[in-house]
Structure 1
Amino acid sequence: MFKLNLKIALRNLWKNGGITSINVGGLAIALAAFILVMMYVTYETTFDKGNPNYDNIYIVGRTMPEFKTNYTPPPLGKAIKQNFPEVMAVGTLKKGGFEFAISSDANTAFASNYLMVDYEAAKMLQLLPNEELAKPANEEGILFFLAKESMMTLFPKKKDDKPELVTLGSKAAGQTAEVKGTISVNKHSNVTFDALSVRKELGKNENYGYNNYNTYIQVKSGTDIAALEQKINTLYKNELIKDGQDVSTDRYKQTTIFLDPLKNQHLKPMAGNNAAYKVLIALSVLAMLILLIACINFTNLSIAQATKRAKEVGVKKVLGVYRYQLTFQFLTEILMQCVVATILGLLIAELLMPKFNALFNVSLSIWSANNALLYQLPLILLAITFIAGIYPAMVLSGFKPSLVLKGNFQTSRNTYWLRNSLLIVQFSVAVIFITSLLIISTQLKYMRTQDVGFNANQVVYIKNIMMFSDPRVFEPVRQKIMRIPGIKSVTVATGIPDGSENGSNGYTVNGVEASIDFLDVDFDYFETLDIKLADGRFFNKAFKTDTANSAIINESAAAKYGLTDPIGKTIRGCSMDYKIVGVVKDFKAQGFETPVQPTLYSIKNPCGNAKTQLMLKIDQDQMSEAIATLKAQWPDINKMDGDNFRYYFLNDLYGKLFQKQEQLQSVFFAAALLTIFIATLGLFAFAKYMTNNRMKEIAVRKVLGASDVQILKLLNSSFFAMVIIANCISWPLAYVLTKKWLETFAYRIDIPVLPFLISAAVTILLTVLTVSIQAAKAVKANPVNALKYE
């Protein structure tokens, strides 16, 4: 019996090759999209999961009055370890402030992600070399390691793991270091690096005023984290008092400690935004919807072929075959199609994988041994077989022999309403994707064309390791660069407007204290970036006090302190008084997702980092010549890293802030095309089914004198109504979803009406064309063929 059923199934699938191809092809494409997205979701949600202490590691952060931060002072970790037995280990990390060159005799690599850790952090976070990690012998001892890729670049023929002597920075500077060994960097981790120094202790002589370290703790299993947070918070306040910090201010009183799990750090850190997490949820829902509408489409196409299987079912039932046997037979046929669709889906996913990896900057592979897809796919196959096949199987196995053998049967009215509902769902999803795509594109266009408050064009950012905090040290370098033809201005700062966060500190004006950002700059900073002045003046060499205690604030800072006439006012912070000499207009240094932060700019700042970020404004017509001359003269201009001239265009760096949203736009574009394609296939199937069922009605109408246009209008009317209903359902959903997405931006568009109208026009046009093409066959058919047996 099984052999007979298999022959019938294969013969039936071959006989209806066109519909079978559409069925299998549509499901295969949807499965390919689902596989790619699910692999990416699995990758993004399993960062650091290979760490055996994954569930017990937390980062210690601080909730400030205006924001949250993961930066803490180095003595805090030691105090936590000494006071709380439930804390098994404490580790401290600090990221390097700049990129530097590492050279062997013949080759050079660049450390752009230099990480300093203490011994406990290296063990806790599994930052372990290929050989056993040795503990530094004393506080001054440093174990310097390189990522395997960097070591292979420097020593391509190296076969052992013996220490190697390398040069740091320019070879002319003569600064050397010993590389103890290599570490295979886990790129599927939140803690990555290309150069690592392991120390016995970090920040040994620094007090609670140095809030520029990350503190990780490992707790015992079952620890009450909420209670531990409270205890660490109390300890922190007491330690501040012991350290002589002023805890009487509102800023310190409102500062509290929080513990954020390691598993949260990649997608939804407490001290950060969860935009990546929201994008991932959107992608997951998108993938499931695509697969769902593909299953709906499969169901409709299968039911459209029901009339061709009716007599087969009737004969089998007369011969004594039970309904459950027929159901099993039809499910087996559908399983065969789903298996083929799955194989094709895997092949399509493999073909699309390079472009997908390039889009999301990942290196996923379907055939890797640890891919969860290998055991998930059989479950997915069974699920889609059941979802797509159970309804057609029940319909086909439920035909009454007495009706089907006479050639006169109709499926139930409930079945009709269900199929209508499924088609409406398909088009509703398609409309949501089309509308969302158009709104995302509008927001991205707004971000690309909106005035950000500064001009990154023609500004070149030069990588540098020389510290220019003292203007007198920087002035000779500035003069040498300015002699090069085409250079308009030169400046240096502690940061560039590429989305990077600035430092923050407490500043007081007229008795009002607030935590605001600060950025250490030099002369010509605002002129180089073409930042507009709102009041007062820029820093000027003619005023000697500008290098001592002058400050410029932005409009947000003036508003935060309620200053209507800030020029000449005193602002105190970092144990010194600044005189406000200017107010600049707000500019979007952090992009569109984050509001412009109240910021203070100064040339001298005791609390700031070293000024290393060089920016040059170059004439567009002399750009290539100026850069070539800079490269040639760089060893003389900047001896510390003169061998390694590297530059970037600032507008390219700023443009990377839009990368995530551009990825989302690309995904929604593909999803919109895919859902339209699948929905059109479903519409084609349903139109075919409805037309076949109404052949006799069409023949009677033609005999009675109905024109072709009237019949086409009749057949289109019900589908037109369904698409209108789909638009009415999907518009509110699309509005809510896109509104939620737009709320992740501090600066955004108002939701326009045009995308909703365009989505309606597209779906209506596709419906009319698809149904008319299918209905045209019925209209042109001879009425005699439909009525000759009546």
Structure 2
Amino acid sequence: MFKLNLKIALRNLWKNKAYTAINIGGLAIALAAFILVILYVTYETSYDKDVPNYDRIYQVGRSLPDFKTEYTPAPLAKLIKDNFPEVEVAGKMTPTWFEFPINTEKGRVYSNKALLMDFKVARMLNIWPDAKSVDEKDPGFQMYVPKLFIKELFSDKKVVFPTMVGLGPKKDAQPVKLFGTIERTDEHSNIKFDIVSLSKDIGLDNKDYGTNNFRTFIQVKDGANIEALQQKIDQLYKTELIKGGMTANDRRIAGRSVIFLDPLKNLHLRPMAGNDTNYKIVVALFGLGTLIIIIACINFTNLTIAQATKRAKEVGVKKVLGAYRFNLTFQFLAEIFMQCLLALILGLILAEMMLPLFNNLFGIPLSIWHGNTALFGQLILILLGVTVISGIYPALVLSGYKPASVLKGNMQTSYKTLWLRNSLLAGQFVIAIIFIAGLLIVNNQLKYMQAEDKGFKPSQVVFIKNIQFYNKPKDFESARNKIMKIPGVNNVTVASDIPDGSKPGTNNYKLESKELSMDFLDVNFDYFETLGIKLKSGRFFSRDFIADTAVSAILNETAVARYGVTNPVGKVIRGCNMDYKIVGVVKDFKAQGFEATVAPTIYAIKNPCNEKKIKIMVNIDQSSMTSALAALKSQWSDINTLDGEDFRYEFLDELYGKLFKKQEQLQSVFFFAAMLTIFIAVLGLFAFSAFTTNNRIKEISIRKILGATDFQMFKMLNTFFIGIVLIANLIAWPLAYVLAKKWLETFAYRIDIPLFPFVIAALFSTVLTVLTVSIQARKAVKTNPADALKYE
């Protein structure tokens, strides 16, 4: 019986080759897209899953009045471990905020992701050296590097550890012992490093609760009450701050919880101290992939139901011969399973072909066949799910025909499914229209971000990488004067931070009676002129005023607004244990992009809380850019006497442009998703209109005999489908509007939702419908009525 059913299934599929190809092809394309989405979602949600006790590791953070931070004081880890038995391990780590070169006889490599880490944290996070034995009681620092980094440092494959390397410039390199390697890549981890220095206590027994430079990690016992633990740590931490001199009614701790515990599994996608852009991209992609599968299943179901009348007599004969409905349902589900299995195989092939493009778009190393055993279990579930979703209703319809009716030629049962077929067709276009409108809205927001005034001009600014400190203006004067002599150079400055989206340091500042947490930047003369930032009131820092190097400060508009001061110029603001005189107010500029509002910020040339001016910025005429960079490169060893071996630079507009990368990725995803859903919807419409037109060919012939024109026939056949598409637009518009509004709310600076994306989506879907249906209608309209009616 199975063999017979298999033959019938294969013959039916071969007999209707066009419909079979459309069914399987559309589903295969959708499955290929969904496989890529599943790979991406699995990758993004499995950061650090190779870490033992992954579910019991938490990062300790602090919630301040104006923001949250993952940075905590050095003694907090020991305080937690000593007082709470439910905590098994506690330790800390800290990144270095500067880069430095490592020198060997064979090579020179710059590190920009160096970490200092307690041995306890290294064990907790599975970052452990390859050495057979490690002295965990060593109070000094043991430096290790990943194996991949070794290849760049040493040409000889057989390196005997420990070995000596030099840190810093070649002329004044500091000899440091390199203890060995670590077998680890950080591409799939929240903890990224190219060098790690391990020690018993990287805080060196620091007991200062006022300085927050460390990230604290804890591992709790199985079954620990995290909420209760969080409250207990919070109370103890506040007690220590009060012991250190902070008042109990201080705004930083009064009437609120300060400490929070952030699970390790949340750090990549939804960190409490950070943005959740990655999470939104994952959710958006998974939603798009699911919608694509749904539209493909709708297409499959619709075409299968449309073909039902051709199988009616087969069902009638089988029922007369004793077949039960259950047997027929199982048979038709088996046929649909065969088609879905073939579609899945084709989908895997297509996914493999598209994978390099997908990896390049998202900058990730996904693979279908290597290190992805979970995927094959997921594919089985996808196959079964698609088979059930696509096949259960058609199977029930096909197996439900009544033998007496269908053998007499009564096919009225098929008309009972007309409402469903129309609804499914409309549903396909609803999804396609949402994608079209969504693509246009995403594109508009991206264009707005690229064209909108950022408040500064990064287009002709070059950021020169450097390891020399220029904390005092006089330290930078020599280098500045030499750079300014190069033709085409307009301005030069040095600062602690550049406007590339990175978050500067924060501290509390008091103006009059109000205290506010503000970002602070340590800058030099010409900082605002170099970046093209506009002055609102007062003046910029000037060499004509000696006090500017010691006690002057400049605020931005947001800071002035938050303090509620009408005219702050000339007033005194206190922070970092010193008083500043406000000499100017600058207009806000979007240093951290468009997703976050401009933070209240203070700029000073002298800043005891910072003193890490290391980032050089040079404003160069566009017409002289090439020659100026060549001159800088040739003169760099003379300009920068400490760090002159390598001239390394980046364009500031390219660095700032990286803030738009996630949105550009989303735009690309929407483009491909829109094209894919439109293609699948048109495929379904093409097949469905062909089936409908063929069923009405006798009616068309009679109408032509009675005098109907070709235009009237085209109008009759198109009107029905255009009506469905217009209804789909009416349903899709409010859905697209709500989704777009929700997405745009993630931006502090955004467009108003325009009308034209919805109009374009409606016009595009209507034109496509007319073209698709007219291609099929033309065949029927041009058919000779005598050929269509000769058997009547």
Please report the TM-score for the alignment, with normalisation by the length of structure 1: 0.97
Q: Distance in 2 between matches of 1:265 and 1:609?
A: 30
1:560 partnered with 2:559? no
8 Å CA contact 2:495–2:524 kept in 1: the answer is: yes
8 Å CA contact 1:136–1:143 kept in 2: the answer is: no
Residue 255 of structure 1: CA displacement? 6.3
Residue 767 of structure 1: CA displacement? 1.0
1:210 partnered with 2:216? no
Structure 2 equivalent of residue 7 of structure 1: 7
Residue 789 of structure 1: CA displacement? 4.1
Residues 422-437 of structure 1 aligned to structure 2 (within 5 Å): 422-437=424-439
Amino acid at match of 2:592: Q
Residue 394 of structure 1: CA displacement? 2.2
Q: Distance in 1 between matches of 2:229 and 2:416?
A: 59
Residues 503-518 of structure 1 aligned to structure 2 (within 5 Å): 503-518=505-520
8 Å CA contact 2:309–2:414 kept in 1: the answer is: no
Gaps of 5+ in 2: none
8 Å CA contact 1:547–1:604 kept in 2: the answer is: yes
Residue 367 of structure 1: CA displacement? 0.2
Q: Which moved more, 1:528-537 or 1:55-64?
A: 55-64
Structure 1 equivalent of residue 480 of structure 2: 478
Deviations 1:504-539 (A, max 9, x none): 110001111111111110111001001000001111
8 Å CA contact 2:483–2:632 kept in 1: the answer is: yes
Deviations 1:697-728 (A, max 9, x none): 32332333222222222222221111111111
Structure 2 equivalent of residue 654 of structure 1: 656
Amino acid at match of 2:227: A
Structure 1 equivalent of residue 177 of structure 2: 178
1:231 partnered with 2:232? yes
Residues 583-602 of structure 1 aligned to structure 2 (within 5 Å): 583-602=585-604
Residue 182 of structure 1: CA displacement? 1.2
Query: Could you say what secondary structure the match of 1:251 adopts?
Result: coil
The structure-2 alpha-carbon separation of the partners of 1:316 and 1:765, relative to structure 1 and needing over 3 Å to count, comes to same
Q: Distance in 1 between matches of 2:540 and 2:157?
A: 54
Structure 2 equivalent of residue 741 of structure 1: 743
Structure 1 equivalent of residue 47 of structure 2: 47
Q: Distance in 2 between matches of 1:227 and 1:287?
A: 39
RMSD (CA atoms): 1.7
Following TM superposition, where does structure 1 have runs of at least 4 consecutive aligned residues deviating by more than 4 angstroms? none
Q: Distance in 2 between matches of 1:136 and 1:307?
A: 77
Query: Could you say what secondary structure the match of 2:105 adopts?
Result: coil
8 Å CA contact 2:104–2:154 kept in 1: the answer is: yes
1:21 partnered with 2:17? no
Q: Distance in 1 between matches of 2:253 and 2:477?
A: 39
Q: Distance in 1 between matches of 2:778 and 2:725?
A: 20
Amino acid at match of 2:104: S
8 Å CA contact 1:496–1:613 kept in 2: the answer is: yes
Q: Distance in 1 between matches of 2:489 and 2:371?
A: 54
Residues 112-131 of structure 1 aligned to structure 2 (within 5 Å): 112-131=112-131
Residues 239-254 of structure 1 aligned to structure 2 (within 5 Å): 239-253=240-254, 254=256
Deviations 1:211-232 (A, max 9, x none): 1211111111111111111111
Q: Distance in 2 between matches of 1:106 and 1:369?
A: 34
The structure-2 alpha-carbon separation of the partners of 1:318 and 1:138, relative to structure 1 and needing over 3 Å to count, comes to closer
Structure 2 equivalent of residue 287 of structure 1: 289
1:278 partnered with 2:277? no
Please report the TM-score for the alignment, with normalisation by the length of structure 2: 0.97
Query: Could you say what secondary structure the match of 2:412 adopts?
Result: coil
Counting matched residue pairs gives 789
Query: Could you say what secondary structure the match of 1:531 adopts?
Result: coil
Residue 137 of structure 1: CA displacement? 4.5
Structure 2 equivalent of residue 685 of structure 1: 687
8 Å CA contact 1:251–1:513 kept in 2: the answer is: no
8 Å CA contact 2:492–2:616 kept in 1: the answer is: yes
Deviations 1:38-79 (A, max 9, x none): 110111111111111111111111111111111111112221
Q: Which moved more, 1:563-572 or 1:220-229?
A: 220-229
The structure-2 alpha-carbon separation of the partners of 1:698 and 1:399, relative to structure 1 and needing over 3 Å to count, comes to farther
Structure 1 equivalent of residue 400 of structure 2: 398
Query: Could you say what secondary structure the match of 1:642 adopts?
Result: coil
Q: Tell me which of 257, 265, 268 is aligned to 2:267.
A: 265
Q: Tell me which of 612, 615, 636 is aligned to 1:613.
A: 615
Amino acid at match of 1:455: K
Residues 748-759 of structure 1 aligned to structure 2 (within 5 Å): 748-759=750-761
**Percent of aligned positions that are identical:** 61
Q: Distance in 1 between matches of 2:388 and 2:83?
A: 57
The structure-2 alpha-carbon separation of the partners of 1:133 and 1:721, relative to structure 1 and needing over 3 Å to count, comes to farther
Amino acid at match of 2:606: K
Q: Distance in 1 between matches of 2:258 and 2:722?
A: 59
Deviations 1:143-165 (A, max 9, x none): 10112211111124324562232
Amino acid at match of 1:483: K
Amino acid at match of 2:520: F
Query: Could you say what secondary structure the match of 2:660 adopts?
Result: helix
Query: Could you say what secondary structure the match of 1:372 adopts?
Result: helix
Q: Distance in 1 between matches of 2:636 and 2:283?
A: 48
Residue 592 of structure 1: CA displacement? 0.2
Q: Distance in 2 between matches of 1:132 and 1:638?
A: 42
Q: Distance in 1 between matches of 2:521 and 2:173?
A: 32
Amino acid at match of 2:736: A
Query: Could you say what secondary structure the match of 2:212 adopts?
Result: coil
Amino acid at match of 1:89: V
8 Å CA contact 2:308–2:414 kept in 1: the answer is: no
Amino acid at match of 2:54: Y
Residue 548 of structure 1: CA displacement? 0.6
Query: Could you say what secondary structure the match of 1:250 adopts?
Result: coil
Structure 2 equivalent of residue 336 of structure 1: 338
Deviations 1:154-185 (A, max 9, x none): 12432456223222222122322221111123
Structure 2 equivalent of residue 533 of structure 1: 535
1:76 partnered with 2:76? yes
